[in-house]
Each structure stands twice: as structure tokens, then as C-alpha cells.
Amino acid sequence: MNASSNGRLAGKRAIVTGAGSGIGRASSLLFASEGAQVLAVDLNTAGVEETVELVKREGGEAIAMTADTGSDADAQAYVQRAIDAFGGLDVVYANAGVSGGDIPFAEQTVELWEKVLRVNLIGCFLAVKYAGAHMVAQGKGSIICTASVAGLKANAGGNPYSASKAGVISLVQTAANSFWGSGVRVNAICPGLIETGMTKPTFDYARARGSADRLGQLNPLLRYGLPHEIAYAALFLASDEASYVNGQALPVDGGLTASMPFKRRRA
């Protein structure tokens, strides 16, 4: 899709983190096709540069930036880069995250928890803090964070991952109230099972065992999701169509959390 001057994000300046692959790449492409100028941020330089090339190939406008989203200095830098390059900032999609793996509880370390919380939760906090300060000054803005169904209920992810995503959900609720009366909205998306680089080990394992047809079978749609399906939810929250949506955690999971089937996990 070519960039549109009449798109749903026409005239908006956006940041997408974790933009080097998966949901972040799909969101960068979609935001740009809907008229936004996009600063694509990722720790993976090659990945984020490829995303920007794809955006430009489709007629969109994007800039690549390598940054560690869990770093205070880097977060300040990528927010300032967008403001300097685009003349302002209207949308931030704090999507960068790590899984933490599927390690038995008794074998988990403080270092593992610190790594997962640093990227998944502190990274979102920093995006909200520094983008929010600019948006409050201008009187409007939309901040979106990637949480997870694992942050809503148990048995959808490992312990540190689930705790970090529950923290993201609480962060958007409390941040929305911290920005009381400012015109700045803060929301989260809670993806279900999506085929991305993060979930590649799960998909590879299932395919190697010949059980790929069982992936996503715990939700009423009987399938897993794709990155562009999360990107469209982010597009809605970023757009003025969501002008009355604030402090919410939106599941995009094929209906999984409508019942949240239980799957016994090892201790």
C-alpha cells in the first residue's frame, strides 16, 4: 500500500519500537501507508533498516534508529530524534519486547527477571515518560504499549514475561490517570499467539513434531494470529477514531481470553 495523504494517520508523527521484525515491522508499514511519518526503532540495526527500506519501497516516509528501549538515555534520544526530524510527535507504539523463554520456576534467576522487566515494562515506562512529557505540552497524543494475554491470566506465558505484561497493563491504566485532563491517551494491546520472531521457537517445535495444525487451537477461531492483525489494532488506537479510548488493555487473541482454556504447565 502506498502512503496516503488522506489516510487514517495523515499528518501524524509516529514512533514504533521493536520495529525490526514482526508486529513492529507490520505496524511501521501500516502506519506509513496510512500517512504517518515513522521513526522505526530497534536494537537490531539490520532489521530496522530493512523495515525502513520496505516502507520507502511502498512510498511511505520512515527513518531507522538503533536504540535500546530499556535504556533511559536511549529512550530520551529516540523521542527527541522524532521531534527533531518530524517537527513533533503524535503517536508512540512501545512494542519492543522479549519472551524470557519457558524456564521452570525454580530455575529462574534474578538476572532473567531483570532482563525481561527491563525491556518489557521499563521500556514501556520510558516511552510513556518521555513521549508523554512532549504530548502533554502540546495537549494531545496517543501512546500504545504491547502487553499480552499472558498479562491478563495465567498459563499463557512464562512467569517473568507474564508479570512484565501485567505490569504494562497496570502502567497504561495508571499513566492514563497521571495524564488526567491533558488530552494524552495511553492504551495497551494484548496479543494472543502471534507468529513472530519471538514465538518462532514454539512454531518451529510444533512443525518439527508434525503438530503445527494444533497451534492456536485453544481459541474459538481455531488459529494463531499474524503481525498485521495486531498492527490494525494499533492503527485504530493511534488514530483519531479512538479519541475516547483511554487506559484500556485490548485483547486481540481470537477470543482466547473469552474463556482462557487451562493448559497444565510444569512447575
Tell me the H-state helices in 64-188: 72-86, 110-117, 123-138, 159-178
Quote the DSSP letter at residue 194.
B
Question: How far apart, in whole angstroms, are the C-alpha atoms of residue 214 and residue 212?
Answer: 5
Of the residues 78, 93, 161, 224, only one is catalytic, namely: 161
Strand order of the β-sheet with 61-66 is 61-66, 37-42, 13-17, 91-94, 141-146, 184-191, 249-252
Other C-beta atoms lying within 10 Å of the C-beta of residue 44: 15
Look at the block and give the residue holding cell 512529557: 133
Tell me if 116 sits within 8 A of 98, measured CB to CB.
Answer: yes
Residue 39: name the closest of 53, 10, 19 by CA. 19
Largest CA distance in the chain: 54
Q: What are the two backbone dihedrals, phi and then psi, of residue 196, each rounded to the nearest 5 degrees?
A: -140, 180
CA distances from 34 to 30, 129, 179, 237 (A): 6, 26, 27, 13
Q: Is 78 a catalytic residue?
A: no
Please answer whether residues 135 and 141 qualify as being in contact, where contact means their C-beta atoms are separated by less than 8 angstroms.
yes
Catalytic residue IDs: 161
